[in-house]
Amino acid sequence: DVDLHSPLSQKIPQQCDALWERLRSHCIDFRIPDQLTVNKYSPGQGIPSHVDRHSPFGDTILSLSLGSSVVMDWRHHSGKYVPLEVPARSLLVMQGEARYDWQHGIQPRTWDPVIEIRKDGGNEIRVITNDVSQ
C-alpha cells in the first residue's frame, strides 16, 4: 500500500532516467512518475484478475515487460473477455477505459495457448510506474 503521508526516503534510481527520456520521446503527454513498483514472476506464477486501485494512483499506469512474453487476460464488466499477448520488452499503457473498466490478470501457467509458446524457464519481470495522486 502507498502511504501519501509517509513517502520512502529512497527515490527512483537514476538508472531509470534513460527510460524516462525514451518514453518522453514516444509519448506526447508522458510525465516522469513518482512511484515505481518492480515485480518478478517465476514461470507458473500469475496475477489475480483486478483493476488497479483508483487512488492513490493517477489516470495512467505503465507496465514495462522485461522478461518473456505472456498472455494477459482482460475482462470487462459486460462479460467481454480479451486475451492479449504482452511481448517481451514491450510497454503496456493503461488509460481511460482500459485503466478503469477492465480487469486484467495473468493465469498461473507455463503454457500460453493463445500465443502458443513454451516459456523457456525465464523469469517475467515487470516494472510498473504510477503518478501518486496529490
In a domain, 16, yes or no: no
CATH number at residue 123: 2.60.120.1520
Residues 6 or more apart in contact with residue 43 via CB below 8 angstroms: 110, 119, 121, 122, 123, 124
Residue 60: inside a domain? yes
Separation between Cα atoms, residue 16 and residue 112, nearest integer Å: 30
- Domain assignment present for 52: yes
Helix, strand or coil, per DSSP, at residue 123 = coil
What is the domain count for the chain? 1
pLDDT tens track for 49-61:
999 877 667 888 8
Residue 107: inside a domain:
yes
Q: Rounded to two decimals, what is the model's pTM?
A: 0.72
Choose between 74 and 119: higher pLDDT. Answer: 74
Any domain includes 37: yes
Q: Using one digit for the tens of pLDDT, what is the confidence trace for 65-109?
A: 888 888 899 999 999 999 888 988 898 989 899 999 999 999 998
Residue 66 within any structural domain of the chain? yes
For 44, the grid coordinates are 507458473
Identify whether the C-beta of residue 128 lies closer than 8 Å to the C-beta of residue 66: no
- Whether 15 is covered by a domain: the verdict is no
Q: Specify if 53 maps to a domain.
A: yes
What 3-state DSSP class applies to 18?
helix
Range of the domain at 73: 33-130
